[in-house]
Amino acid sequence: MRKYKIDHSGGNLTIRVKIWLFFMMLICIVFILMWTFQVVFLEQFYEMMKVASVGRNVEKLASSYNTEQFDENLIDAAMKNDMCIEILDKDGTEKYYQCVFSGNCLMHNGSGDVYFFYMEMLHNEDGIVSRKVYNDTMQSDMLIYGRPLYDEHGEISGYILTNARLVPVQATRQIFQQITMIITFLLVPAGIVLSAYAAENLSTPINRLTVSARRLAQGDYTAQFTGGGCAEVDELADTLTYASKELSKTDEMQRDLIANVSHDMRTPLTMMKAYAEMIRDLSGNNPVKREQHLNVIIDEADRLSMLVSDMLDLSKFESGTQKLEQERIDISEKLREIARRYEGISEKMGYHLYFTGDAPYYICCDSGKIERVICNLLNNAINYTSKEDRSVYLRQINRPDCVRIEITDTGDGIEEDKIKRIFDKYYRSENHKREVVGTGLGLSIVKAILKMHGYNYGVNSKLGEGSTFWFEATAFINEEEK
């Protein structure tokens, strides 16, 4: 069991603390903004709003200047907005006025201030006057706002001056201060509780996953990964469950592989050792016996080297380090050539190969590797075909988009539940383990090569009737002819 250590020296804060800190920071920012805007800048804010509001109303009124509704609009604007309005002509002579402060405003208290404001408008580049002036009579700040009026030709035809009261914000500020204080007292505990809840909600499932992941790292594949809290954590849990399943499969396969390899290697090695000892102790001086024993040793050495080379080939195919050397070949010709070779030794080996070809068919493949596939399947068919008739069939069936190659035997067939496993590495059926020499890697190599080519493959088998292994090679299409 692998042990591992986690390095926490980075000093990272836990999710719980981080969320809590973020919440607290947010609350602090909210308070700072509330206090500065509502309390410190309240007056400036109010004045800005007032200027903007008066400006808007003046604008509206100015647009109806020289129209019939102007008189009505003037009274309306003064009443609704609680401000005095003075309309002057170009020379500064009073044309209209409306006072809502019973003559106490800065324009109508007889102080002659209107003249100064008029002069100010004349001197200002944009013709606008906007400022705060203290009114002793009313004991209040007043906002003076004025601007020129234009005729239809865009020429200055007069001036409008307004005087609105700026209400002291002291009382309002006090109210705001108290409200802000109450909100502060309510928000701090609410923030602490909420942040604690959010942190708990997020960190608990993550902590649970960490505990399970630690168990998995220690080789416990029963560890359960449950999500909760949020979609991301659910997804992480699913991914970990998937990883756990895959790891357990790999682990199982690795164990099987080691068991199989060591078993398959131990058998020939034991045999070789036993026969070598026999030669040393018993048959050393008996040439006939010695010959026999040496042949066993040679056979076992062959078997061992076959196993090792199969293992190496398979790992090369599976790792993707082996590249296909594709060429255009006539599969019909290839099959004929292989069949001829097998027929040549069939008598000696005691089997019958029946080959049924078809018209020439061109495919693009790695010829050497496809030959290996056919030979592996033929060798299996020969090994597992019925002991009575010992027949093996090799067929080529041309189809419009592919050529199907079938290798059939008349043996015992393969049980349905085993069919899925025969292409697995090191799988050898129990009843074949002893009687037939093999590595259990032949079909895995077949599968790897066919997969590299992207060909379909499979096996049809019926118990007692034999099996047919097949694959379909896609037709060669000349790009230039297309």
Which residues sit at the interface with ligand ADP, rule CB under 6 A?
A: 380-381, 384, 409, 411, 414, 422, 427-429, 432, 438-444, 467
To the nearest whole angstrom, how small is the minimum distance from the Cβ of residue 307 to ligand ADP? Answer: 9
- Smallest distance, ligand ADP to C-beta of residue 411, A: 5
Give 455-461's long-range contacts (Cβ < 8 A, gap of 24+). Answer: 456/402, 459/414, 459/419, 459/422, 461/413, 461/414, 461/419
Residue (50 or 303) nearer to ligand ADP, CB = 303
Helix (H) or strand (E) holding 134: strand 129-135
CA atoms of 154 and 128, how far apart (whole Å): 16
Nearer to ligand ADP, 366 or 412 (CB): 412
DSSP 8-class letter at 430: G
Nearest distance from C-beta of residue 264 to ligand ADP, angstroms: 10
The least CB distance from residue 430 to ligand ADP, in Å, is: 8
In the complex, what is the shortest distance from the CB of residue 314 to ligand ADP, in angstroms, rounded to a whole number? 10
The nearer residue to ligand ADP, 128 or 306, going by C-beta atoms, is 306
Our separate counts of H helices and E strands in the chain read: 11, 12
Nearest approach in angstroms of CB 445 to ligand ADP is: 8
Report, in angstroms and rounded to the nearest whole number, the Rg of the chain calculated over CA atoms: 49
Nearer to ligand ADP, 56 or 418 (CB): 418
Of 184, 143, 181, which is closest to residue 165 (Cα–Cα)? 143
Nearer to ligand ADP, 202 or 422 (CB): 422
Instruction: Collect all residues with Cβ–Cβ distance below 8 Å to 251 and sequence separation of at least 6.
Output: 219, 221
Q: Rounded to the nearest whole angstrom, what is the least distance from the CB of residue 255 to ligand ADP in the complex?
A: 19
Task: List the structure tokens of 473.
Answer: 């090679």
Rounded Cα–Cα distance for residues 451 and 392 (Å): 25
| Least spacing, CB of residue 405 vs ligand ADP, in Å | 14
Reference 131, options 57, 74, 50, 204; nearest CA is 50
- Which is closer to ligand ADP, CB of 98 or CB of 380? 380
Residue 62 or residue 448: which is nearer to ligand ADP going by CB? 448
Amino acid at 471: F
- Burial class from Cβ neighbours inside 10 Å (0-12, 13-18, 19+) for residue 7 reads exposed
- Two structure tokens written together for 445: 């190599």
Q: How far apart are CA 232 and CA 170, in angstroms?
A: 51
Q: From CA 446, how far away is CA 424, in angstroms rounded?
A: 11
Query: Looking at beta carbons only, is 160 or 394 nearer to ligand ADP?
Result: 394
Name the maximum alpha-carbon separation found in the chain. 150
Q: How far is the CB of 355 from ligand ADP (least distance, A)?
A: 17
Q: Report which residue's Cβ sits closest to ligand ADP.
A: 438
Nearer to ligand ADP, 205 or 442 (CB): 442
Task: Assign 481 to helix, strand or coil.
Answer: coil
